[in-house]
Structure 1
């Protein structure tokens, strides 16, 4: 298994390169900014990038996913629920992205946005059980993602409640690799630590511990932070809607 984490400060976010070193098959998750570091990291690891995955249509930055996919000769992966206007590999819940001895299973986890996906990763050279999950802005260290950027806050929270229950069903040892950390506009109580585990978040993440749906919705719609500047325009640009309207 190869795993590289990229921490960004403007905007605050986390990207990843992961995959099978033995069969030189890799993927990038939620790339931000200059595409060259991902290409260089893959080259340094002796891997070819097969997939570039965005966990959702972002509202806090312009995605470079398509540009990176084009440069790497990879497939650009986004949820089939995204409704975007450009060619891509649309994935649905349960789909598996093959990467040699590593497999990446898609979990549809709406709430932060309706199309949001998480990626559950297994390295079959070590075990048949999942090892870690890329959670994007659904589950982050210390908090969950805000719910009003692409739907009403209440509807997003109801969807997120169901998604959170799915993540809670994962074994406690599964590592949580989120798409943001402290300083991101997509959460309220985020930790500066950029990784965690399902079991630790079940014990110490206040939003993640709530079991009653009505209580969960009330909690999630309280104290919503200011929206990212031009969030709607950025989401439109990342979905191709802005280009289509031009």
Structure 2
């Protein structure tokens, strides 16, 4: 498997990914930012990888997604969870679905909380084995923190969903599974984000403050306190990413 992680810091702090099956030249781009659309296309040429799928883990509220534009330019399928409320068509996925790109297999986990339509991606490289290798967690589980829950829903409703996504799905995965999040320190989508842009399930279980709060009501209270300022223009950004606003914020 070819795997690339891109750390963005201007104008937004975010992480995007390009990975897939090198032997069959089938690639996937996850959470692309609008400023780097041409870069991903150039990368696909350098890596000799056709971009077959473009995936947004969720409808972002902190930056403009480049997913639709990248899909249009490359002919790739644009994928969101089936519950995403948009003004445009996309390829839907549901919990448990699989996306296959050569030897690369993605299992979809519906992990609402940060947003209702949020998904995480459990990735297996069948050229190496049948066990999953890593999970792309978007703004659900991040290194040192978990995603804020009030940008697309009520904070307590979002925190309730996030608790279930974390403790009933993600943390049931193997401790050695690598974690690749959608943000790192400097992002407003978390409160205690690490500058290290990857981790493992096991390390986060031991060292992530939010994950040590295993009682539902205490977790909801924790997520409802000390909420940072929202991203500037977040309602307009999410509306634009959903296709309901034509003027770019």
TM range (shorter): over 0.9
Secondary structure of residue in 1 paired with 2:223: helix
Corresponding residue number in structure 2 for 1:154: 156
In the alignment, structure 2 segments of 5+ residues that lack a partner are: none
Cα distance between partner residues in 1 of 2:213 and 2:128 = 33
Cα distance between partner residues in 1 of 2:133 and 2:212 = 22
Cα distance between partner residues in 1 of 2:102 and 2:129 = 14
- The answer to whether 1:30 aligns with 2:23 is no
- CA-to-partner distance for each residue in 1:66-86, whole Å, 9 max, x for gaps? 000111110111111112110
Q: CA RMSD in A?
A: 1.0
- CA-to-partner distance for each residue in 1:10-67, whole Å, 9 max, x for gaps? 2000000000001110000000122111111111111100000000000001111000
> Structure 1: which 4+ aligned runs deviate by more than 6 Å?
none
Shift of 1:209: 2.1
The correspondence of residues 160-239 of structure 1 with structure 2, limited to 5 A, is 160-165=162-167, 166-239=169-242
Secondary structure of residue in 2 paired with 1:35: helix
Give the alignment's TM-score, normalised by structure 1.
0.97
Corresponding residue number in structure 2 for 1:12: 13
Give the alignment's TM-score, normalised by structure 2.
0.96
Corresponding residue number in structure 2 for 1:108: 110
Shift of 1:220: 0.7
**Count of equivalent residues:** 244
Selected match of 2:136 from 127, 134, 142: 134
- The answer to whether 1:49 aligns with 2:51 is yes
